[in-house]
Chains A and B, each alone.
Chain A
Amino acid sequence: MSRSAHPTWERLLDYAESRLSAAGTRSVRAHVETCDRCGGKLRDFDRLRDDFAAGDAGDAPESWLLRAESRLPIAGRAAGAPRVTFDSLVDALPGMRAGLEGGRQYVVEEGGVEVEVSIAPEGGDEPWPVSGQLLAEDTTRARDLDVDLLEDGRVVATVRATAHGEFLFAHRPRGAFRLRLRGPGVTLETPDLAP
């Protein structure tokens, strides 16, 4: 096959997919080996499939999609006050359901700052029943951050967060409690959280 007689795109694809006869395959191969244009088209085609295969893992589980949609805050919801944006009892993530594990996890958000709070299952051997982390865009907000644990409005424990904004309490609250974060970059008090 001469340079001037390029195989059609359809024939090139048939060649790439091994759908040609032996003679057809030989003919197209001989052309492609000496034709940059047709070789390039085939390489583009291969790359298209390879790229897709390398960057795709199929659809996310349907339950994830439904939860993602249901959790997105929509217009008109109150803004400004601290609010729980994630509660493992409500959102029922595998492994964090109270009925299964006895633990609970919250995410509280206020003004673009988030605090993740985890409460370990009662009766377990977790030395820090309450732990969490400040999740802020600006990680410097975690500097010099003190966290109070309040029960009945009274501070019962205070810890200094790590440079990563993590904090651990050895105290297990008897019931509902709040966390108050105090630092140069953050001041936030959570709503009541319950084990």
Chain B
Amino acid sequence: MAESVDTGDLLARAARGDDDAWREIVARYQRLVYATVWGFRLAPEDAEDVFQETFLRLHRHAARLRNPAGLARWIALTARRLCLDHLERRRVRGEIQMADDYIDPAPEASEQLERLERAQAIREALALLSPRCRVLLEHLYFRAEPLSYRDIARVLDMPVGSIGPTRARCLESLLRKLEQAPAGISAGDSGVRSGSRPIGGAP
């Protein structure tokens, strides 16, 4: 994954049908889509359906997305709407029970969306660090099971005593990159449908 490629350039290349750009987009955003879908606790086959469909929708809309900084939100929103559509279709078919007056809890949805976006921003900032810094921070802070200093020293072939200072520098660099990251999306590209049950097609 060529993580340092600007999102705008990536989208433009993707919109022109560049296969490599699409592969990079899938690699870059797969965790975002996966985390979004994961939150809905769909059956595995439904979850994969939504996962695939999200990228197909992105492909269809790539040429029209005007705000690269909002791409993560667009993707998360699309995956989210597809999940809700999936649940709605299953409810209509009687496969699952859901109250008729079920209302999408928009405030919670908005918070979850922010968390997803924030995690994506962290992933993208991590990708901009040197490989050594990235691996170090991922192993220390961004994995379900962090490694010990000793294990990290082995993985990175560095003295245990260097990990502390290196970690501090890398983390500082990560925080700087996060501060420099483009602001989120403009209102026009967003649109969490609040207070109503999203039905039908996603973006």
Contacts and interface: CB of A to CB of B under 8 A. Distances in A.
A51 to B, nearest CB: 4
Nearest to A133: B89
A48 B151 CA distance: 23
A68 B199 contact: no
Interface in B36-62: 38-39, 43-45, 48-49, 51-52, 55-56, 59-60
A136 B203 CA distance: 8
Contacts of B71: none
A68 B51 CA distance: 8
A64 B51 contact: yes
Contact of A60 (B33, B144, B175): B33
A174 interface: no
A48 B17 contact: no
Nearest to A112: B60
Interface stretch (A9-17, A22-30, A152-160, A176-184): A9-17
B122 A51 contact: yes
A136 to B, nearest CB: 5
Nearest to B25: A72
Query: Interface range on chain A: under 10, 10 to 19, 20 to 34, or 35 or more?
Result: 35 or more
A72 B56 contact: yes
A10 B56 contact: no
A65 B122 contact: no
Contacts of A94: 44-45, 48
Interface string B91-115: 0110000000000000000001001
B200 A164 contact: yes
A68 B118 CA distance: 24
B150 interface: no
Contact of B201 (A8, A67, A136, A166): A136
A73 interface: yes
A69 interface: yes
A164 B92 contact: yes
Contacts of A61: 48
B26 interface: yes
Interface string B1-39: 000000000000000111100110011001101110011
B175 A51 contact: no
Q: Which of A48, A74, A85, A137 has the most CB of B within 10 A?
A: A48
B200 A56 contact: no
Given A52-B141, A55-B115, A10 B164 contact: yes
Given A48-B175, A68-B30, 9 more contacts: A10-B164, A57-B34, A68-B55, A73-B56, A136-B200, A137-B203, A139-B201, A162-B92, A165-B200
7 contacts: A48-B141, A51-B115, A57-B38, A57-B39, A68-B30, A76-B17, A94-B44
